[in-house]
Amino acid sequence: MKNNKQVSVLFVCLGNICRSPTAEGVFRHLVKQEGHDSWIATDSAGTHAYHIGEQPDRRAQQTARTRGVDLSDLRGRKAIKTDFEEFDYVLAMDDENYQILEAMCPTGLSDKLSLFLDFSKEYSETQVPDPYYGGDQGFEHVFDLVESASRGLLEDITKRFR
Ligand code: 4NP
């Protein structure tokens, strides 16, 4: 939730039940752990409407839970044009969702849009792969990628805004 905090981050994937809620949960956990939760807000959304109002996928919740991150309060929603006015960072999980967001983005606000993995220092991959139709190990890999990019993102935010 945004709650009028100084800096806000929106994570976006296709369904908002696997990758982007994992990213939101991991990043918000890190932000809290590092004592920045009073000024950094997080949210997530999907480019498609299939899972509006749903909890994160059971496998995403399970993977996150075993690694100390609770996703149970998150609910699916669809990304909307005004998200680009509301949020400072709009972070796509892959090129497909990046392109959908780019087409939706109002003129002059495209600097807010990036691929989330561009913030990772440990991984050269640019795409968080869609784990929905695969096995549990896909969710583990998503978690690893997201954890790395979350650290880089927090560093970027603290450099830019503090
Ligand atoms: P997500 O994964 O984009 O990481 O939430 C998916 C979830 C649902 C579907 C596709 C991807 N789906 O086709 O319903």
Q: What is the CATH number of domain 7-161?
A: 3.40.50.2300
**Mean pLDDT confidence for 72-100:** 98
The string of DSSP letters for 28-42 reads HHHHHHTT-TTTEEE
Q: What is the distance in A from the centroid of ligand 1 to the CA of 20?
A: 10
Boundaries of every domain in the chain? 7-161
pLDDT at 1: 59
Measured from the Cα of 16, ligand 1's closest atom is 5
pTM: 0.98
| Unique residue bearing structure tokens 């496998």 | 59
Tens-place pLDDT, residues 26-75: 999 999 999 999 999 999 999 999 999 999 999 999 999 999 999 999 99
Question: Identity (one letter) of the amino acid at 158?
Answer: T
Give the helix/strand (H/E) hosting 60: helix 58-66
Q: Is 15 in the pocket of ligand 1 (CB under 6 A)?
A: yes
Q: 66 CB contacts (<8 Å, ≥6 apart)?
A: none
**Mean pLDDT confidence for 94-116:** 98
The reply to whether 105 belongs to the active site is: no
pLDDT at 4: 85
